[in-house]
């Protein structure tokens, strides 16, 4: 192979892939992102609970807890420079029976072992004072003050945008289907031709073990785990003050009640293993069960309507920890098994992967630096309900989506940004358009008019998952 076209090729445009592109681009590497979908967050990253986790309940000493806590710290350091909002809610791990109540001391001990020393047990009366709308069946809780709610879509967009401004490139509809390593670099085969690079980083989520076979036989298997969510109307968000977490099981962290940055109340997820890696369909039966579970915890939910449902797939493996490893002989890093904590861990994972590259690959010549004079900090669109939005500050354009107060100017900026929306899903994630209680009934015709000829998949033809 002649000189490779790219220093680093990142496969997969989820939150982790976007964070890794940012880090390597800011380090001076010529970096390329390949994503098989039409936009970032086309896979597992588009559906999550949007919680910035402290790592209090992660396996002690694991790669996961190290990456989560590094990511948490870096996010708090940089979020304001990106114009990214935070809801500092705190969380409560609530016990609903004696067995769970007896498990709380162990949860606190694990949190302290992980360095999250402000976690403490609170009594039933203290819990009632904090969350008066919870069912009286709640017996007590562990208080986790550092848990927060963030914008799950604008954060990865910020990472990739900054990476692009630092020289990175993103190519969509680009699926990697094969490749060969010649001792110097990789020749990857995609559905759009061949691309060469020195180092390949696999961040393909639910396709992780399949893509890993291009380099080596993986010692893990992705077992997609579906999580279904319910989004309640904005009126329901006032029923809780913090994030309500369950005592976790060996399989799942359980069903969560949380405010969203967009002003709604979120309930979920379920935990259902399935074979299909690409589609996560909602099930009426499971959603009814979810409503029943949520109403038992928070009786007032019965008086509020559900405005949306969605489902996502988490790339679970048989291991509790992340599966991140470098193959030093083939210039390959597998970033796999990133389950429900990837949003928090992404920045920390990026730093961990950079460290692996320095330890395993010669002459990469990358040193991350976000403090240089030429580093650009793009401001993301403000989507938080409790912050000043463009319709309030006045961007000189009409409101198109009245449920979510989205202006025509916001839509135009999303269509023409550095990483433009090219699908309805991408447009929704960048603006909140058509995501209100009418689900686009009143504004879809106007949105279709504005976006005509400007989306790769025209409005109304995008496959829903």
For the stretch 373-390, pLDDT in tens is 789 999 999 999 999 999
Q: In terms of domains, do 303 and 423 share one?
A: no
Residue range 169-184, pLDDT digits in tens = 999 999 999 999 999 8
Confidence of residue 460 (pLDDT cuts 50, 70, 90): low
Cα 20 → chain centroid? 14
DSSP-derived pairing of the beta strands 193-202 and 186-190: antiparallel
15, 342 contact by CB (below 8 A): yes
Q: In terms of domains, do 34 and 167 share one?
A: yes
Q: Enter the tokens of residue 276.
A: 């299909």
Q: Which of 363, 381, 399 is the last residue of a domain?
A: 381
- Indicate the DSSP class of residue 457: S
Please, what is the Cα angle at 212 between 310 and 57, to 5 degrees? 55
H-helix segments, 194-259? 208-212
Residue range 392-410, pLDDT digits in tens = 998 889 999 999 999 999 9
Domain with 197 in it: what CATH number?
3.50.50.60
Please give the pLDDT value at position 365.
Answer: 66
Q: In terms of domains, do 163 and 143 share one?
A: no
Please give the pLDDT value at position 253.
Answer: 65
Domain count, the chain: 3
Task: Provide CB contacts within 8 A for 410, sequence distance 6+.
Answer: 381, 390, 395, 397, 430, 431, 433
Please give the pLDDT value at position 250.
Answer: 64
For 107, other C-beta atoms within 10 Å of its C-beta total 22
DSSP-derived pairing of the beta strands 91-95 and 86-87: unpaired
Residue range 424-449, pLDDT digits in tens = 999 999 999 999 999 999 999 999 99
Could you tell me the residue range of the domain that residue 432 belongs to?
Answer: 390-451
147, 53 contact by CB (below 8 A): yes
Q: In terms of domains, do 417 and 283 share one?
A: no
Domain with 403 in it: what CATH number?
1.10.10
Q: In terms of domains, do 228 and 295 share one?
A: yes
Please give the pLDDT value at position 48.
Answer: 85
Whether 139 maps to a domain, the answer reads: yes
Q: In terms of domains, do 127 and 259 share one?
A: yes
Longest Cα–Cα distance in the chain = 70
351, 77 contact by CB (below 8 A): no
Q: In terms of domains, do 234 and 359 share one?
A: no
Alpha carbons 212 and 208: distance in angstroms, whole number: 6
When pLDDT is averaged across residues 125-142 and rounded to a whole number, the result is 98
39, 172 contact by CB (below 8 A): yes
What is the pTM for the complete model shown?
Answer: 0.95
Q: Enter the tokens of residue 303.
A: 């008086």
The answer on pLDDT for 1 being more than 60 is no
């Amino acid at each position: 192979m002649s000189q490779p076209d790219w220093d680093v090729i990142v496969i997969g445009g989820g939150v982790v892939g976007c964070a890794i592109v940012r880090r390597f681009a800011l380090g001076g590497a010529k970096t390329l992102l390949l994503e098989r979908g039409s936009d970032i967050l086309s896979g597992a990253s588009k559906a999550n609970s949007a919680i910035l986790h402290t790592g209090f309940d992660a396996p002690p000493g694991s790669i996961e807890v190290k990456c989560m806590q590094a990511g948490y710290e870096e996010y708090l350091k940089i979020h304001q420079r990106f114009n990214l909002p935070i809801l500092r809610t705190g969380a409560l791990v609530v016990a609903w029976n004696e067995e769970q109540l007896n498990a709380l001391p162990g949860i606190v001990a694990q949190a302290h072992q992980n360095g999250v020393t402000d976690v403490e047990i609170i009594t039933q009366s203290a819990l009632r004072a904090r969350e008066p709308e919870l069912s009286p069946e709640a017996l007590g809780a562990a208080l986790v003050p550092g848990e927060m709610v963030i914008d799950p879509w604008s954060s990865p967009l910020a990472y990739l945008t900054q990476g692009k401004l630092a020289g990175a490139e993103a190519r969509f509809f680009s699926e990697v289907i094969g490749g060969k390593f010649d001792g110097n670099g990789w020749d990857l085969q995609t559905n759009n031709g061949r691309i060469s690079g020195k180092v390949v980083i696999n961040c393909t989520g639910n396709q992780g073990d399949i893509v890993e076979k291009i380099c080596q036989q993986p010692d893990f298997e992705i077992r997609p785990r579906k999580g279904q969510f319910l989004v309640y109307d904005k009126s329901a968000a006032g029923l809780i003050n913090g994030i309500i977490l369950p005592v976790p099981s060996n399989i799942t962290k359980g069903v969560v009640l949380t405010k969203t940055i967009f002003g709604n109340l979120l309930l979920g997820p379920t935990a259902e293993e399935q074979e299909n890696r690409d589609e996560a369909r909602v099930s009426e039966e499971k959603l009814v069960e979810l409503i029943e579970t949520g109403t038992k915890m928070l009786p007032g939910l019965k008086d509020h309507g559900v405005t949306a449902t969605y489902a996502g797939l988490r790339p679970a493996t048989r291991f509790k920890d992340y599966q991140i490893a470098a193959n030093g002989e083939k210039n390959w890093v597998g970033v796999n098994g990133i389950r429900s904590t990837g949003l928090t861990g992404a920045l920390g994972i990026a730093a961990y992967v950079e460290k692996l590259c320095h330890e395993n690959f010669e002459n990469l010549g990358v040193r991350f630096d976000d403090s240089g004079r030429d580093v650009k900090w793009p401001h993301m669109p403000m989507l938080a309900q409790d912050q000043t939005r463009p319709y309030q500050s006045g961007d000189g354009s009409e409101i198109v989506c009245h449920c979510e107060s989205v202006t025509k100017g916001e839509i135009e900026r999303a269509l023409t940004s550095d990483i433009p929306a090219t699908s309805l899903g991408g447009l929704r994630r960048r603006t909140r358009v058509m995501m209100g209680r009418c689900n686009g009934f009143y504004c879809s015709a106007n949105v279709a008019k504005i976006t005509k000829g400007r989306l790769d998949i025209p409005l109304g033809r995008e496959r829903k998952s």
